[in-house]
Amino acid sequence: MTNNKALLVIDVQNDFCPGGALAVAGGDSIVPFVNHAITNAGQASELVILSQDWHPANHSSFASQHEGQGPFSTVTMPYGPQTLWPDHCVQGSAGAAFHPNLLSDTAQLILRKGTNPALDSYSAFFENDHQTTTGLHGYLQAHQVGAVALVGLATDYCVAYSALDAARLGYEVTVDLRGCRAIDLDGSLASQLSAMKQAGITLIGDA
């Protein structure tokens, strides 16, 4: 039986909000919507899972760790191409904390990802080698979850990677774009929206 549902709230952290190290335009404006989704999920006895981007200070996705490379350039890592970012969501920093207004107390699980300095993790299910698991699939299976709904930051990176992995793993997937905002680097938003539609993911609202 896999008739339970889970709400996955992806990376609603200060560094992805205006004023943060990797600010997403309007990132903080989703918080009231996300809080409603959290409250509604709790009332419907659905699981609420929050993910948190949680990098060591020397993380290899940081441009600062690559001599001569600036943020938003791309390097080739052993596991494939990797976009380089400004230092962000460093473990224990104020930027890595959840947005102060996020209703984080009722979540059953807080999943931290991106902790291996050698490997980035956009998806809440698999790291960027597409092999190393975070354990989320096992957790959801243990709780008989068959459907997941996603909101959070950023639409075209961690939300889309998580949603696409969830669809590949056989979950029924909904992304509520009213609770998401995008980075939109080199057309990434358009291409990820179309990839999600192709994968049979239900998109609610406008990006």
Q: Could you say which of 54, 62, 85, 171 contacts ligand VGL (CB under 6 A)? A: 85
Cβ contact 62:84 at 8 Å: yes
Footprint on residues 165-204 left by ligand VGL (CB under 6 A): none
Residue 113 is a catalytic residue: yes
Q: Could you say which of 46, 53, 87, 165 contacts ligand VGL (CB under 6 A)? A: 53
Q: Which two tokens stand for residue 57?
A: 């200070």
Shortest CB 154 distance to Zn ion, Å: 10
Token pair 């970012």 is at which residue? 85
Shortest CB 187 distance to Zn ion, Å: 20
Footprint on residues 28-57 left by Zn ion (CB under 5 A): 53
* Range list of β-strands (E), 19-144: 47-53, 74-77, 80-83, 109-113
Q: Is 116 exposed, middle or buried (0-12, 13-18, 19+ CB in 10 A)?
A: middle
Q: Which is nearer to ligand VGL, 27 or 170 (CB)?
A: 27
Shortest CB 53 distance to Zn ion, Å: 4
Residue 11 is a catalytic residue: yes
Q: Is the sign of the CA dihedral 115, 119, 120, 124 positive or negative?
A: negative
**Residues engaged in binding Zn ion (CB under 5 A):** 53
